[in-house]
Chain A
């Protein structure tokens, strides 16, 4: 482990007049596989969306790779929840994966043969090459998740931020996704993953953040993922004001 890649300082986020995140202070280790766990409504998605500057915080700062400007986002591959895009959009799987390459193109610039090759390679990694001409509405839940991850790989970023990638998918896909994540970690990438199943945290992740509106505990999984901390996060109904 070599240092910190994301530093969050005193972050507060509110929806209208309801606080969603409260006094978040957090360091995420470079090259880690970090899980974010917590009960429903704990603000897990809110936190990673704030990292991606999709939500504007009330106060606090987020430093990624030593930068706070918008350009740093291009180095982050964001995998949204499956429900967040319109799957009836007329596009093939390859079209969607190619979008990962748009990050490296300026306005008006088109993708080239090289980008196509990278996209096809990413599809191969996710064992989706047979589906490359399939319309996205015809994909199953697991295949959609794999297509999204292929897009992230095609983007060729150093940091991966994923919102419940293992939610509602079959066990084969789950194993495939975890294999790919481990392989990419070995290549130096960092993973921040919102995760739902507590029973697999120890097996899948080396770091964990336990939260419920505020950070309950964070650090190496073995040290932090204890019954005490989990109970604290799941018992309390979040911090009041």
Chain B
């Protein structure tokens, strides 16, 4: 069964590397559209060849994939339809056409919709071919080739991909065609998506493309790091997905996709620049600021002696917040309490000077 894991990992690696550029170019949903519409290509080619293993299926599907990108661009370039709406319109129309064709003409043919849409990586080892005398799953062989083509493309055109993604206008001036790079990338994406169908199905393939890249995006400062880290997350998600899916007899691709979200959310929440740290920092800043403001108020004329009531109403504090702040200020010896009134200590007064310069307030 190690072959199943291998197919899964190779699929994840082949998809996640181009995925980095899809994420950075805002093409995630365009890729989702492609992964649905290539079904139309598969169906059309299947009717012509009547062979689910025919290479024509991959070719036709890729052509439809590129056509999808082109039609979306054509529709949104009229400026009559927004790009996101164009994506939604085009992929549903082509997908609906595919479903109608399947239900109308393939009554007894072996084109199982569920397998195409859902994929099943567990079936991958059943279809084998001989390579250099070894019998390996056809999907593994096919996806490995595609993985190396993708790696080679990105290694070779790294500079061009980087430039056209970051600043397409400058790329044009520098003599690199952003359009050429774009369509080359989308051709590879289409081919990869078709090949990945067997293993993960057309709906989840988008997850394999973008989830690792999105997770890496949260952590990195450089493009090269994003690519390496995406590959790492791709393998991680696959291994976890495989172990859980296999142990509990669940859809492996499904579990892998959901694992990808869990991984993403974990990084999103707990990373150094993440959600949790952001919230805590904001909370700390607000607390420090409120305390500084209380001290500064006591430093003003006519406010040197304040009662608890005056402070709570001035800063709109509830009793718990008030107790918390006052305890902190008393322990640190910034203020003292006499006859139910609070006054600044010398240390507290010094602190207000520091505060004024910190927040750039007039002294």
User: Using a CB–CB distance below 8 Å, which chain A residues touch chain B?
Assistant: 16, 52-54, 70-71, 73-74, 76, 78, 80, 84-86, 89-92, 95-96, 99, 102-103, 105, 107-111, 135
Beyond A74-B174, A102-B176, A111-B159, is A90–B217 a contact (Cβ under 8 Å)?
Answer: yes
| Contacting pair B223 A99 (CB below 8 A) | no
A95 to B225, CA, bound (A): 13
| Contacting pair A91 B222 (CB below 8 A) | yes
| Minimal beta-carbon separation of A161 from chain B (angstroms) | 10
B156 contacts the other chain (Cβ, under 8 Å)?
A: yes
Cβ-closest chain A residue relative to B26: A86
Within 8 A of A (CB), among B159-184: 159-160, 162-163, 165-167, 169-176
| Minimal beta-carbon separation of B82 from chain A (angstroms) | 16
Cβ-closest chain A residue relative to B169: A54
Residues of B within 8 A of A86 (CB): 24, 166
| Minimal beta-carbon separation of B165 from chain A (angstroms) | 7
| Contacting pair B217 A102 (CB below 8 A) | no
Of the candidates A54, A78, A90, A99, the one whose C-beta lies within 8 Å of that of B225 is: A90
23 contacts between A and B (CB under 8 A): A16-B79, A54-B172, A70-B175, A73-B172, A76-B173, A78-B170, A80-B170, A84-B167, A84-B169, A89-B166, A90-B221, A90-B222, A90-B225, A91-B223, A92-B221, A95-B222, A99-B167, A99-B174, A102-B163, A102-B171, A103-B173, A107-B176, A135-B221
Residues of A within 8 A of B24 (CB): 86, 89-90
Of the candidates A90, A95, A109, the one whose C-beta lies within 8 Å of that of B220 is: A90
| Minimal beta-carbon separation of A82 from chain B (angstroms) | 12
Chain A: interface secondary structure? Answer: loop
User: Using a CB–CB distance below 8 Å, which chain B residues touch chain A?
Assistant: 24, 79, 156-157, 159-160, 162-163, 165-167, 169-176, 217, 220-223, 225-226
Cβ-closest chain A residue relative to B224: A90
Residues of B within 8 A of A105 (CB): 159
| Contacting pair A99 B173 (CB below 8 A) | no
| Contacting pair A91 B173 (CB below 8 A) | no
The 10 A-B residue pairs with the shortest CB-CB distance in the complex, in nearest-first order: A135-B221, A103-B174, A73-B173, A85-B167, A89-B166, A102-B174, A90-B220, A90-B226, A90-B223, A90-B222
A71 to B173, CA, bound (A): 8
| Minimal beta-carbon separation of B114 from chain A (angstroms) | 38
| Minimal beta-carbon separation of A135 from chain B (angstroms) | 4
| Minimal beta-carbon separation of B121 from chain A (angstroms) | 31
| Contacting pair A108 B157 (CB below 8 A) | yes
| Minimal beta-carbon separation of A50 from chain B (angstroms) | 13
Cβ-closest chain B residue relative to A79: B170
A99 to B173, CA, bound (A): 12
Sample of 8 further A-B pairs with CB below 8 A, known A102-B171, A135-B222: A80-B170, A84-B169, A91-B162, A91-B221, A99-B166, A108-B156, A108-B159, A135-B221
Of the candidates B156, B167, B222, the one whose C-beta lies within 8 Å of that of A80 is: B167
Of the candidates A52, A84, A89, A92, the one whose C-beta lies within 8 Å of that of B173 is: A52
| Minimal beta-carbon separation of B217 from chain A (angstroms) | 7
| Contacting pair A89 B176 (CB below 8 A) | no
A120 to B162, CA, bound (A): 20
Beyond A16-B79, A90-B220, A90-B225, is A99–B156 a contact (Cβ under 8 Å)?
Answer: no
| Minimal beta-carbon separation of B324 from chain A (angstroms) | 33
| Minimal beta-carbon separation of A201 from chain B (angstroms) | 26
Of the candidates A80, A103, A110, A135, the one whose C-beta lies within 8 Å of that of B175 is: A103
| Contacting pair B169 A52 (CB below 8 A) | yes
| Contacting pair B173 A78 (CB below 8 A) | yes
Cβ-closest chain A residue relative to B158: A110
Of the candidates B169, B221, B222, the one whose C-beta lies within 8 Å of that of A78 is: B169
A199 to B294, CA, bound (A): 45
| Contacting pair B223 A95 (CB below 8 A) | yes
| Minimal beta-carbon separation of A215 from chain B (angstroms) | 24
| Minimal beta-carbon separation of A105 from chain B (angstroms) | 7
| Minimal beta-carbon separation of A153 from chain B (angstroms) | 14
| Contacting pair B163 A99 (CB below 8 A) | yes
Cβ-closest chain A residue relative to B173: A73
A135 to B166, CA, bound (A): 14
Residues of B within 8 A of A54 (CB): 169, 172
